[in-house]
Amino acid sequence: MLPLQLQGVSIAFPNPPGPPRIILRPTDLVLPAGAMVGLEGPSGAGKTSLLHALAGLEPVAGGSIRWGAENLAKLDGAARARWRRRHTGLVFQDFHLIEGLSVLDNVLLPVWFDMFRAPRALRDRARALLVGMGLPMPLPPLAVLSRGERQRVALARAVLRQPPLLLADEPTASLDAEAAAKIGSLLVDLATTSGATLIVASHDPHLLARLPIRLRIAETELERLA
Amino acid sequence: MNPFPLALAGLRHRRGTALALALLVALGVALGVGVGALERSLRQGAARAADAFPLIVGAPGSPTQLVLTAVYLQPDTVTLMPGSVLTRLAADAQAGWVSPIGFGDRWRDKPVVGVTADFVTLGGRRSLAEGRVFAAEDEAVIGTAVPLALGDPIVAAHGLAHAGVDEDDADTHHHGDSPYRVVGRLPPSGTPWDHAILVPIERVWEIHGLGNGHPEGVERIGPPWEGQVPGVPAVVVQPKDFPGAYALRARYRDAQSNAVFPAEVLVSLFRLMGDVQAVLSAMAMASAVLVLAAVFLAFSGLVAARSRDFAVLRALGAPWRFVLAAVWLELALVLLGGVAVGLGFGWLGGWMAADALGRHARVAVTVAPGWDEVLLALAVLVAGMLGALLPALVVWRRPPGEALKR
């Protein structure tokens, strides 16, 4: 596992015809390997944008994001996609499962980016993850799953290939309290077990309370709370 | 990489839309394929019907009408050629065999046509399906579609177009006193002649009070005709050889008669049909283009509706070729299904239309799948698949972050 090093990272969006809209002024940050980070801040302050930048989904305006020897900020779109595929697992507020695919196939989806057929070991791991998260067997069709169950499927998809960096964007925001607590525990447990660095953007105080490092983004500044 | 599960998931999730789009493609393709297949088969059927008619001699006038009369048994307003021309033809050294074609009667809706025995056997080239050739004036050979058996009597009714014959009776009086007896049956030819009843020409003349073409008191059938020979609508001539055919055609093109090769007439007819077909093809093509345009419009909608899925793929780190392949594959599968079904529909439609038209004209028309239509379908498929790259590229160019943030 490697530390995540941000140096002078700034984020801005083009906003024609005006000047670019600044989301984050140049910021330095070092997160040790296996860090558990909660990212908070008012809506629209740029939590999602920062997560997307860390995942290489969107280029940064300046600075460097280093993961070991690799500088994410210097990579082009295709290389960032490759980096993302190998190093990150993403969890979204709205799960973003693919309708029309079975539950198991949704978990195995990233495998098809590289392989024609998921190897037996990965299929077994996918099933084991789902069972471990309490999904009923045999697996029901995706359409009948509750929101909490859907987020568990999305979680299994994110951790299937044991990425060293786990990024979650409001993973509990669209769930009821019970499901939110369950997902929060699963997320923290999975990261702990695998030793992955976990960064969670959230408003959920219960979830944030379980994360030792706390960051807050507001008015283009990123500050460390704890 | 394996984009199939994703493409199939998209189709499954929106199967109604996918099905409607495939059907739209199928209709466009079917139209083009059907028109092509129909035109080709009609031409082949018409050409085959003329095989038995090397050279036709008739009264001066429209060659097309002459061919319609003799080959397709559709005597409309055929003027008669003087009988002396028939006498000359029968004695011509370059003619192998000759046979007048004389209309007069009918039995039910089957025309009774006066010919010679040589015409029945095509000068010995055609053997009968059963029975034998007529040998007397009251014997008849029937086409394969005439519902009679050997030995049955035929009481012909007067009334099928009998061009030029003076008629003072009512249109359909019965010649109850002059029945024929069936002695033979022709093999199927896929032409209107399958519905004809072939009798000695002498009998047709006699029934109409025109003598029998032979000198007084001579009661045989067949050439030469040395008596008073009535006028005839058309004469089929088998030339002895190739140069003879052209010599005959030249010799009998004068004030009294006109000689035509049916094949030649058909070629000019087909040229006309070709123009019609060009128009039809252009219309079919235009409709195919319109359909494709509509399909791509719908595709764009489909892709827009799935833009979140594609953004998710990219967030999960899918390489661009995977996203491209998944989008393209989904559209390509719809196109492939539509084109395949359209090809089948087109052939089926062409076959049904050809069958109906052929039944009407009593010409056997068979629509066989041809490479032309396969090529057309492939062209649509390739154009569509290339076009399907566009929505796929649009998906790639859209930044994934936007679709994920809602």
* Residue partners of B66: CB distance under 8 A and separation at least 6: B56, B58, B78, B234, B258, B260, B265
Give per-residue pLDDT as tens, B153-192: 888 766 544 444 444 444 444 455 567 899 999 998 888 8
> What's the CA gap between B157 and B172, in Å, rounded?
6
Instruction: Determine contact: A110 vs chain B, CB below 8 A.
Output: yes
Are B320 and A81 within 8 A, CB to CB?
Answer: yes
- The three-point CA angle B335-B340-B341 to 5° equals 100
Torsion, Cα B239 B241 B246 B249, to 10 degrees, reads -10
- Helices and strands: H and E segment counts in chain B: 13, 11
Cβ contact (<8 Å) for B1 and A114?
A: yes
Supply the pLDDT for residue B163. Answer: 40
Whether residue A118 contacts residue A159, with contact meaning beta carbons closer than 8 Å, is answered with: no
Q: At A210, phi and psi to the nearest 5?
A: -90, -5
Per-residue pLDDT tens for A38-93? 999 998 888 999 999 999 888 899 999 999 888 999 998 889 999 999 999 999 99
Q: What angle do CA B323, B326, B327 make, to 5 degrees?
A: 85
Q: What is the DSSP string of B188-203?
A: P-SSGGGG-EEEEHHH
Quick one: pLDDT at residue B405? 67
Q: Do A113 and B10 touch (CB under 8 A)?
A: no
Q: Which residues of B touch A86 (CB under 8 A)?
A: 317
Inform me whether the C-beta atom of residue B54 falls under 8 Å from chain A C-beta atoms.
Answer: no
CB–CB contact B9 A78 (8 Å): no
Give percent helix, percent strand, percent coil of chain A, each to the nearest 5: 40, 25, 35
Q: How far is CA B346 from the centre of its chain?
A: 16
Encode pLDDT of A153-174 as tens digits.
Answer: 999 999 999 999 999 999 999 8
What the block records as the tokens of A151 is: 């987020």
Tens of pLDDT, residue by residue over B284-336, are 778 778 877 877 787 777 777 778 888 899 899 998 889 888 888 888 898 89
CB B395 within 8 A of CB B322: no
pLDDT at residue B162, rounded to an integer: 44
- Percentage of chain A surpassing pLDDT 90? 77
pLDDT of B342 above 60? yes
DSSP state of A142: G
Neighbours of B368 (CB within 10 A): 11
pLDDT in tens, B47-56: 777 777 788 8
Res. A120 pLDDT band, cuts 50 70 90? very high
Number of CB pairs < 8 Å for A and B?
Answer: 89
Tens of pLDDT, residues B113-168: 999 999 998 888 888 899 999 988 889 999 998 998 898 888 876 654 444 444 44
The predicted model gives B227-237 an average pLDDT of: 87
* Nearest Cα residue to B205 out of B227, B188, B176: B227
